[in-house]
Amino acid sequence: MWLGGLYLKEEGGYDIVLRALNHYKKRLKSIGHSPELRDASMFAQIVQQEAMKTGPLIEPTINKIKNGLEDPTVLNELQSDIPLFEKALNCYYSDIQKAKTNSDKFYSELVPDSNVAASDLVKIKIALAKISQFS
């Protein structure tokens, strides 16, 4: 049994995971404008190719989570999506940190609500620990 599924449904973890997935989708769409890639054109191409592969996986995963809230048996199907959850949560966490410490407009547009984002930092750490748990 995947305890991460219980976390998503029973503990309300779906909220932070959905927020992270939506952020990750937005981040992947804007990856070409990322400050880290501005001066690294060869590396930027590789990152953009990976973004093009990963981006289409996000919306079906979001739908599976939403369906899992209605039908708990669907939640067990999400185990294969753990790497995507981890990437999304880590990306969201990193971008929140950068929005706080970096004056680049890119991050402030990517993470517009700093109050929500700041409270999400703790939730992200909890989510990362919980979604990888098995009984």
Q: Are 5 and 131 in contact (CB under 8 A)?
A: no
Neighbour count for residue 46 (Cβ, 10 Å): 11
How far apart are alpha carbons 111 and 93 in whole angstroms?
A: 10
Given this model, what pLDDT does residue 72 score? 80
Taking the C-alpha atoms of residue 96 and residue 74, their distance in angstroms, rounded to an integer, is 30
CB atoms within 10 A of CB 97: 14
Q: What pLDDT digit, counting tens, does each position of 85-98 carry?
A: 999 999 999 999 99
pLDDT of residue 115: 86
Cα angle, residue 49 at apex, residues 47 and 52 outer, rounded to 5°: 110
Ranges of the chain with pLDDT below 70: 1, 134-135
Q: What is the pLDDT of residue 112?
A: 86
pLDDT in the model for residue 135: 44
Output the pLDDT for position 1. Answer: 58
Q: What CA–CA distance (Å, rounded) separates 5 from 35?
A: 35
pLDDT score of 14: 93
Give pLDDT, residue 39.
Answer: 78
* Total-model pTM: 0.90
DSSP state of 134: B
